[in-house]
Structure formats: structure tokens, C-alpha cells
């Protein structure tokens, strides 16, 4: 076990875990930030997407020891009041079915809008390829990203 000091959602949090523990399980089991989901553990599904310094990463593939001083943002910290343009657009487009993949989808989309505020269909598809939705809500996800972009999707 080793002690790590992490910067998560604007707060400093310390944890005492094995160095090889993926950030995903640190968030979920140690810090009870369970909005970040486990889907595959091998960087294939995107359910566990969080931001490291505003870049979308798969937290199942990032060992806690590699996080260092980078700023971690999870779905719980994406916006204070749950009113990020993407969160609102997701409601407007009535996207979720089971909802399990959606936190990861939103985190990937948020990183996309940050670097590309008005993405095309093609750019959305490319950015979102790593996020599986087993319920098949892709058409609505694409629509919600466009909706958020129209309303100034940067957070």
C-alpha cells in the first residue's frame, strides 16, 4: 500500500491503496464516487471515462500511481448543479435507457466540446467511438451533443 494525494473535482483527497490500483477503483471503492462505471476494465467501452487535465481518459487503464498532480474530473464534478450544457441536452433529447454508459458518454463528449465546440457528425462519431452504449442510444447521443454545441457547449 502507498499513500497518494489526488486532486479530484477541485478537492484534494488522500488514499492509501496498492500502486497498481486503477484510478477507476480508487474513485469507486475508496472515495465512493460511483458515478464512474466499470464496463470492461480494458479500455474498450468508455464507461469509466473521466478527465485528467480536461482530457478524456479511461480510468480503468490509469493506475493511481500515474495520476500525479493532474486534475481529475469525474461526472460528479462536471458541473456544480448538474447543468452542464451536455447534461441539460441529455434530458432534452431524452437520451438514457438503462443509463449505465451515459456518465462515460457525457465525459467523452464534454472533452470533445472543449477542444471542438462545434463538431460535425463525423467528428462526433470519431470522438465517441470508444464509448459503447449497449442499449443503442447513439442517435440520441449524437443529437444531444449537437444540441449542447448549439447552446455553447464549453463548460
Partner 1 sequence: MSTTFVSRRSFLKVSALAGGGFMLGFHAIGKAMDNTLAEDVFVPNAFIKIDATGIVTLMAPNPEVGQGVKTALPMLVAEELNVNWNTVVVEQAPLNTKLYERQVAGGSGSIRSSWESFRKAGAAARQLLTEAAAKTWNVNVADCYSENSFIIHKPSGKKLGYGELASKAATLTPPVEVTLKDPKEYTIIGQRIRNVDTKSIVTGKALYGIDTKREGMLYAMVARPVFGKKLKSVDDSGARAVQGVKNVVRWENRIAVLATSTWAAKKGRDALKLEWEDDTKPESTRDHQEAFKKLIQQKHDAPKRNDGDAEKAITGATKVLESTFEAPFLPHASMEPMNFFADVRDGKAILFGPTQTPARTRTEVAKVLKIAEENVEVGMSRQGGGFGRRLQADYSVEAAMISSLAQAPVNVIWTREDDMEGGFYRPTGMYRYRAAINEKNELDAWYLIAAAGNQPNATRENSFPAGAVPNFRVDSHNLESNISIGPWRAPNHNFIAFTEETFIDEIATALKKDPVAFRLELLDRAKNNKFGTVAYDIEKYRGVIKLAAEMGNWGEQGKNGIYKGFGAHFSFGAYVAQVADVSVSGGKVRVHKVYCAVDCGRVINPSGAENQIEGGIIDGIGHALFGELTFEKGVAQQKNFNSYRLIRMPDAPLEIETRFIQSDASPQGLGEPCLPPVIPAVTNAIFAATGQRVKRLPVSLMTFL
Site residues (CB under 8 A) for partner 1?
Answer: 1, 17-18, 21-22, 25, 28-30, 32-42, 44-45, 47, 74-76, 78, 82, 86-87, 90-91, 94-103, 106, 121, 124-126, 128-142
Q: Evaluate whether 111 touches 55 at the Cβ level (below 8 Å).
A: yes
Give the nearer residue to partner 1 in terms of CB position, either 54 or 91. 91
Report the alpha-carbon distance of residue 59 to residue 73 in Å, rounded: 11
Residues within the interface to ligand FES (CB under 6 A): 38-41, 43-48, 58, 60, 96-102, 133-135, 137
Neighbours of 52 (CB within 10 A): 18
- Residue among 32 and 69 whose Cβ is closer to partner 1: 32
Pair 46, 58: CB distance under 8 Å: yes
Q: Using N-to-C axis directions, what is the helix angle for 102-115 and 85-92, rounded to 10°?
A: 130
Question: What's the closest the beta carbon of residue 74 comes to ligand FES, in angstroms?
Answer: 13
Amino acid at each position: 500500500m502507498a499513500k497518494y494525494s489526488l486532486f479530484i473535482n477541485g478537492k484534494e483527497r488522500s488514499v492509501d491503496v496498492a500502486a497498481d490500483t486503477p484510478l477507476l477503483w480508487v474513485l469507486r471503492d475508496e472515495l465512493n464516487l460511483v458515478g464512474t462505471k466499470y464496463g470492461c476494465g480494458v479500455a474498450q467501452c468508455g464507461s469509466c471515462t473521466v478527465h485528467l487535465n480536461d482530457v478524456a481518459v479511461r480510468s480503468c487503464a490509469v493506475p493511481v500511481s500515474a495520476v500525479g498532480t493532474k486534475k481529475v474530473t469525474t461526472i460528479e464534478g462536471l458541473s456544480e448543479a448538474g447543468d452542464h450544457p451536455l447534461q441539460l441536452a441529455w434530458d432534452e433529447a431524452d437520451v438514457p435507457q438503462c443509463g449505465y454508459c451515459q456518465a462515460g458518454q457525457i465525459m467523452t463528449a464534454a472533452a470533445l466540446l472543449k477542444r471542438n465546440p462545434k463538431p460535425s457528425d463525423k467528428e462526433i462519431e470519431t470522438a465517441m467511438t470508444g464509448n459503447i452504449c449497449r442499449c443503442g442510444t447513439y442517435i440520441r447521443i449524437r443529437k444531444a451533443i449537437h444540441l449542447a454545441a448549439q447552446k455553447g457547449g464549453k463548460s
